[in-house]
Every structure is written in C-alpha cells, then in structure tokens.
Structure 1
Amino acid sequence: MKNILRAFAVLILIVLVYLRIAIYPQLDLLSGFSAKSVASGHFIDGRSLETIQLGDNNLPKVNWVSNKINDSEKFVTSTVYGLKERKAIYREGLGATLIDDDFDVTKSYEVPKRRFIKNSRPYPLGNNEPKDTIFTTIDYNKLHDAVDDAFDKKDEKNKRTRSVVVLYKDHLIAEKYATGFNKNSRILGWSMTKSITGTFFGILQHQGKINIMKPAPIKEWQNDQRKNITINDLLHMNSGLEWEEEYTKICDATQMLFQAEDMSRCQLEKPAVFKPNTHWNYSSGTTNLLSGILRKQFKSHQEYLDFWYASLIDKIGMNSMIVETDMKGNFVGSSYGWATTRDWAKFGLLYLHKGNWNGEQIFDESWAKYVATPTNTSNGRYGAQFWLNAGGYFPNVPKDMYYCSGFQGQMIFIIPSLDLVIVRMGLSEEFDFNKFLKEVTACLKK
C-alpha cells in the first residue's frame, strides 16, 4: 500500500512539474490573447461576449479563459481559472490595447485626426452604394454558386467563411456574409495589415522622403553587421535577423503581441544570424520594426498617427478602418488592422490600379511591380509585405496574382490579368482557396 501511495505521489509531482514547466507559462499568453480579442471585437465591431467566445476565440485552450467586459469604463479583464489576469483597454481612435500593471490609464494620449473625404461616386471608387452593372463576360449563375460554395451550409463549421466580396473592372459583382455579419461589420485582417504598413514606404518614396535602398536608420545597429540591413531587406523579410514565428507555442511573435510594451523594438533587439538578402524568414516583428521606422520619419507622434490615415486609409475611403496601437503608441502594423470587407477590397483595388485612386497617384506605378516581384530567397512566394503566386502556389490561378494574407484565412487577392479583386474573411486556414479562386475566375467568359 505504501508503495502504491509513494508511486501516486511521484506521479502527482511529475504532473505538477509538467504543468509548471509546459502549461503555466502559456497562461499569460492565453489570458492576454483573450482580453485583447474580446476588447477589440466588442468595442470596435459591437460583438457580444458570447459571439466572440464562440467565434473569434477559437484557439486551443482559450476556452480555459474567463472574460469580463466593463462597458462603462471600456476595458476587458481575462483570467485562466482565476490566474494570470490580463487587461485590455479601449480608446476611441486607437482601438484596444493590451496593457501591463505599469501602464498609466490616466495619462492623456493623442489620437489620429481623421478626415472622411466625401465622394459621391458609387462603391468601390466612392462611398455611395454600388451601381448595378451587368457584364456580358460574366456567367453570374456560376459566380453565385462559387460564392455560395465558400460558406458553410446550415450547422456546418468547416469552411468558416464570414464574408466574400468580388470586384471586377471597378464594380462589385458579388458579395455575401455569414449570419451575424454584414457590409458594415469590421473584421480583423491580422497579417493583411502588413501590406498596409509596407505601402507607407511606397507613399514616402513617391513623395521623395525616403530611399528604401539605404540602410535602416537604427542607431543600435551601427556597430555590428546589422548596419548593412536596408529598409528594402526588411520589406522583403530578408534581413537575416533571428526571429521565430510559430503560433502553436510561446515564441517571439506571441511574446511580442501579448507581452511587449513597445512592439517596434522586438525585432530590433535580435541578432543577425544570416547576411542580408540571403535567407527569407517571415517575421511579424520585422513589420512592427518598420512601423517604428515610419514613426521616426516625423517630427511628432501626432504627425505619425495622422499620416497613416491622411495619406492612404481615409484618402481612398477606407473610413471603417482602424489600426490599433501598442502601449507606446506604435501602430501594430503586423497584425491589428480592422475594416469592413468592402474597405479591405478598396485596398486591393488601389493596387490593381497601380497606386492611382480617382486620378491621384498615391504611390508610383513601379511600387505595385516592386511588391509583386519575388524576393530571391522565397521560392516565388513573397514580395515586399505581399504574398505571391509567381511560383504557382495556387496552381489553378494566374501566376500574376499577388495577395494580402492574414491569420485564419483573411485574404485580399489581386489578379491584374483579370482586372479582379477577391476578398475572403473567415476563421479557418483549412479553407480550399485554390478551389474557390478557380471557381470564381472560371466565371469570366473567355
């Protein structure tokens, strides 16, 4: 009997040690993810706690978390069985920010000055409702079937598509939403935000204010081999800096998004493990470093905040969009852009038009070619903050297609050869995008 009790005690000890080593460190990230997710979904898009917990919070172990919303003071607190409490606050204009115990919630803060330009043209080039247009080159029955097939049938949870928008020759030709979503629903684009962030370098270059081929302006790198890293290398995810991006475990990316006070410094502080332009490595830290570099281009924090909206977001009428900030006031350019599906499609249309929006050139035509040209170490998969089909990753889709891609299958597909922009927002990356794109593009009659 004593031997049995002793063995049982050893087993319990082993379990406790395992929990302490393997599970306990994850709790902070779990409660942090949940607090941020609930605060953003609730205060930005008006979703209920139940909707967020059943939908947006669909990661492993996140159901261990309990969440409480304080509507009057606009914050969310989350714990894992009473442990590791995390708090996310909502501030109008800045979105939701996950904060730590040292964050001063009483401190005043600056917000972007928005200028919503009135444009009476129909969507997508304006803000009025789209104009019905029938193209003889489209098989509409096939198109509607293709879009319908992107959504789950009743009681299914396989494809998990939330919305689809299709633009052809500057017209909305298809649009559909899952139950609970509509044209006004703001949806998190996750890493599609990287393409937004990268675009600002194209805008500054068009304005003659930056040269992306020059070394990154980072003083901490000037005394080691990192001094040779250019902004171009960073845009191509080709800097050679150490970084781990694996969302199934604690890694550089998850620690940055759910623990860092200043996300722009997480990649900056990493050592070089390869020479620049020799090793492609996808890194959200790199994009947030780029956001920090953008901030340095302006004399004041207010100018930095305003630039994102005045030079691009509000200029093309993406008035629903909000890009959230970290505790230090940096836009989280890697991951935290919210917008309606229609507005995400506008961004794709801007690139389809090579930077021209209603007659105004926002970035040079050459910039669209630049972002869609493969970096030499990505096997045709990646350009400059955009993903590519140059290597035929989607075999049944034109190879000139390039796209914005975000966690859980957020996608903006730009297909210049077909004058087509396709947006799909959802909750699953298991979705068969090749089949979907094949079916949609097949609707265009030869």
Structure 2
Amino acid sequence: MKIFKRLLLLLLVFVLITVIYNYSKLNILAGYSAKNTASSVFVANRTLVFTDSTDNSFSPVNLASDEVDLKTNTATSSVFGLLTRKAVIRKGLGSVLTLEKSDETADYLIPKRAAADNTTPYPFGNGPQKDTVFANVNYQKLNLAVDSLFQKRNKSRAVIVIYKDQIISEKYADGFTKESKILGWSMTKSILSTVFGVLQHQGKINVQDKAPIESWQNDARKNITINNLLQMNSGLEWDENYDKISDATKMLFLDRDMTKMQENKPLVGKPNQSWNYSSGTTNLLSGILRSQFKTHQEYLDFWYSDFIDKIGMSSMVLEADLSGNYVGSSYSWATARDWGKFGLLYLKNGNWNGEELFTKDWVDYITTPTQTSEGIYGAQFWLNADGGFKDVPKNMYYSDGYQGQRVYVLPDNDMVIVRFGLRNFDENEFLKGILESVK
C-alpha cells in the first residue's frame, strides 16, 4: 500500500510539473479552439460537430474538447480538463476570448451597418447577376481548372472566378454555399490597408508621416513612418511563428489590447531596410487608425460606412479584441462573393459604381514592392513582382490568409479569383489553368 501511495504521489507530482511547464501552451491551445469554435458556430452558423470535425481537427488543436452554450452564445474549450478557456459573442464584433469573468458581461459599442442591397445584380448588389456568356471563354477548360482545387488533397471550400464583373465559375464544397461566411485570416490585413487608403483619399491621413506613437518619441523608433508599418519594414522586433509560443500566438490568445505588443518591441533593424512579416504591426496600425477618430464609435463605424458597406460587403464581420480594437491582422468573416467584391474594388482602381473610394495612386502604392522584400510584398498585400508565379502576369497581386485563403487581382486579365480552403495548393498551376481558359 505504501508503494502504491508513493507511486500515486509521484504521478501527481509529474502531472503537476507537466501542467506548470506546459501551461502557456495549453492556454494558447484552448484559446485557439474556443475562439475558433465560437466564431464558427455563432458567426458562420456552422454546427459544433462540423467545426470539430473540420476546423479544429488538426493537431494539436484536436486535443481540446469543445462545448457551446446556445443560450449565452459562448464556447468553452478544455485540454484534458486541465485548463479551460471561454469565448463570448458580442453583437457586430464577432467572438472574443475572455481573460476575466467580468469580460463575459462587459459593456461594448456596436458598429452601425447599412442595409444590404439584395435587389441590384451582383457585383454592385447581392441580386442575381445578368446572364452573360463570353465567346472567348472556354468554360469546359475553366471548370476543369476550378474542379482541380476540389480534389480531396486540396481541401478547398469555395472558388469564384470573376471576369469583366461577371462570375464565370463558382463552386463550393459540401456544407458551403454562396451564403457561407468564411474566415479570411490574414486577408484582413488587406482590409485594414484599404481603410488607410480611404482615409488618405479623404485627406485625413498621410501614410508618409511619422507613426503617431507617443512612447516612441524619445528613441530611434520615432523615425518609423506609417508607410514603414504598412510595408512591414519598420525594423521592429517580432516573432511570427504559429508552431510555438511566439509574439503572434501570445498576442492573439492572451492579450486584452492587441494594438500594444508591437508598440513595446525594440528596434532590431533599420526602418525601410528590414522587412519582417508581423501581425503585431498590423494590429498596431489598427490602434493608429483608432487615434484618427474622436470617439471609439466613429472608429468602429468608419471601416463599414466609408468602405465595407459602400461596396456591399454586407456579410462581413470584423472581429475585435477585448479593448474593442479591430483585430486587423487576422479576424474577418465574409462570403466568397463579398471577398470577390473586395478584389473588384481594386481591379476598378477604387471606383465603385461611380463613387471614388480611393484612386489608382493608392493601388500603385500598395503594389509597390517593399524594400528588402525581394518583390513579394507591398503594403499589406502580396505581389508577384518577383515572378514567383511564373505563368501569371507579374502585376498580379493578392490578399493572403492562413491555409490558402486568397483574393487574386489580375489587372491584365480584367479578372478576380477567390479561393478558400484548409490547405495550401499549387497556386501557379491553378492560376495558369484559369488564365488559359480565357483567350
């Protein structure tokens, strides 16, 4: 009996040490699962079973056990019963991970939204588009290229090809339709960049100005410009790694105010000479946007009133952190068709159905390669200036999200292509197939 008690004690001590040692990992793991579950169920209207069997099915996230409460609009995730995280839904702001019990009932502001236009034909509304057949489109070849992305290995969820304002091919995986909201992940960075473009066009900001960060004014960081931040070229320290505890994972799953972590990082390079992809930088930019408005309500409303709702992206939901700041690095949900409208806004150089939200100067700006990025990055958009996609025009540019979320803008071809899925894929081959189907 004494030996058994000693073994039991040793086992308990081992478990305790293991939990303490891995606490941060378990915290982030449970946080990811709870956050993703809440958004999937309550924002995207999926079932818990579907979410667990698809979005949360990969290792190590699948170690978490998820539950949802349909009465309180909350999701909880637990890892072996050792640590539990909770995410709550806030109207108009998506889901957010709580850090304290009081977060579940805290007051918050709600962004004002315009009514959806379900009458005007797509893309300027959500109504049925006018039937158009293009003689120069080989539809059989086009559909073969689209179908190739729905082979099991690619795990695609949605693909849309828009040519001359018309959807010429559209396909969804089982469980998804044109009404399904899908997470854009880092494509949200391009949404944030566009808000700066709208403000610049309105004469309310100049992205070449020094970043208005008070805490930087007594050191070398005072020379960092908004442009440096938009181009991910500030020289600030940042670790963007999702396979371990990093700056990015701590910010997304442990921070109350996600605009602050990058602000507090030191310089490890020189502004305009040190390209380094950083979600912290994008959320810092969200904080800078907040500083451009007198009230938080104005900040919440502007993204929609002067941009998102202007182009009819009525399905989009921007998610915010506990402090009410939009998480511009990572969290926006919308239908594939609405993401297509976003691409068309850029294809049209900022002019949406006769209203100018920004000009071609802004398009030229966001597609200018960031110094030291070797031609692959602009201002929160990715580029093909280096010819990385060898069978695609070099002036193609795109929004890029985790696991292969994409909005490609192809000016030479008058085309926008949208793809959503759970796995990366051979982008060059896919795009080549689409382009070869249109003569």
2:11 & 2:277 partners in 1: Cα distance?
A: 40
1:207 & 1:214 partners in 2: Cα distance?
A: 16
**Shift of residue 339, structure 1, vs aligned partner:** 0.1
Residue in 2 aligned with 1:232?
227
Deviations 1:370-416 (A, max 9, x none): 10110111000000000000001111111110000000110000000
**Shift of residue 18, structure 1, vs aligned partner:** 8.6
1:93 & 1:28 partners in 2: Cα distance?
A: 26
Question: Which of these residues, 399, 419, 437, is aligned with residue 431 of structure 2?
Answer: 437
Residue correspondences, number? 433
Residue in 1 aligned with 2:332?
337
Residues 350-365 of structure 1: pairs in structure 2 closer than 5 A: 350-365=345-360
- Match of 2:303, SS? helix
- Match of 2:103, SS? coil
**Shift of residue 104, structure 1, vs aligned partner:** 3.2
Residues 139-288 of structure 1: pairs in structure 2 closer than 5 A: 139-152=138-151, 156=152, 158-288=153-283
**Shift of residue 58, structure 1, vs aligned partner:** 3.4
Residue in 2 aligned with 1:54?
53
Q: Is 1:125 the counterpart of 2:124 in the alignment?
A: yes
**Alpha-carbon contact 1:241-1:272 (below 8 Å) kept:** yes
Question: Which of these residues, 364, 368, 379, is aligned with residue 374 of structure 2?
Answer: 379
Residue in 1 aligned with 2:81?
82
- Match of 1:126, SS? coil
Name the CA shift for 1:133/1:22 in 2 (closer, same or farther; >3 Å): farther
**Alpha-carbon contact 1:317-1:343 (below 8 Å) kept:** yes
Residue in 2 aligned with 1:396?
391
**Alpha-carbon contact 1:161-1:426 (below 8 Å) kept:** yes
2:84 & 2:20 partners in 1: Cα distance?
A: 19
**Alpha-carbon contact 1:142-1:443 (below 8 Å) kept:** yes
Deviations 1:123-181 (A, max 9, x none): 112221122111111111100111111102xxx3x100000011001111010000000
TM normalised by structure 1 equals 0.94
Residues 37-116 of structure 1: pairs in structure 2 closer than 5 A: 37-101=36-100, 103-116=102-115
Deviations 1:16-57 (A, max 9, x none): 699457644311011000000000000011111111111111
- Match of 1:107, SS? coil
**Alpha-carbon contact 1:98-1:258 (below 8 Å) kept:** yes
**Alpha-carbon contact 1:117-1:315 (below 8 Å) kept:** no
- Match of 1:405, SS? strand
1:98 & 1:162 partners in 2: Cα distance?
A: 26
Residue in 1 aligned with 2:295?
300
**Shift of residue 103, structure 1, vs aligned partner:** 4.0
Name the CA shift for 1:107/1:280 in 2 (closer, same or farther; >3 Å): same
- Name whichever of 61-70 and 334-343 sits farther off: 61-70
**Alpha-carbon contact 1:30-1:62 (below 8 Å) kept:** yes
Residue in 2 aligned with 1:324?
319
Residue in 2 aligned with 1:3?
none
1:270 & 1:20 partners in 2: Cα distance?
A: 29
Residue in 2 aligned with 1:415?
410
Structure 1, unaligned runs of 5 or more: 1-7
Residue in 1 aligned with 2:3?
none
- Match of 1:191, SS? helix
Q: Which amino acid aligns with 1:32?
A: G
2:222 & 2:411 partners in 1: Cα distance?
A: 37
Q: Which amino acid aligns with 2:193?
A: G
1:102 & 1:208 partners in 2: Cα distance?
A: 42
Q: Which amino acid aligns with 1:396?
A: D
Q: Which amino acid aligns with 2:216?
A: W
**Shift of residue 434, structure 1, vs aligned partner:** 1.1
**Shift of residue 276, structure 1, vs aligned partner:** 0.3
Structure 2, unaligned runs of 5 or more: 1-6
Name the CA shift for 1:377/1:21 in 2 (closer, same or farther; >3 Å): farther
**Alpha-carbon contact 1:125-1:170 (below 8 Å) kept:** no
**Shift of residue 216, structure 1, vs aligned partner:** 0.5
**Shift of residue 63, structure 1, vs aligned partner:** 1.4
Q: Which amino acid aligns with 1:79?
A: S
2:293 & 2:15 partners in 1: Cα distance?
A: 51
1:371 & 1:393 partners in 2: Cα distance?
A: 18
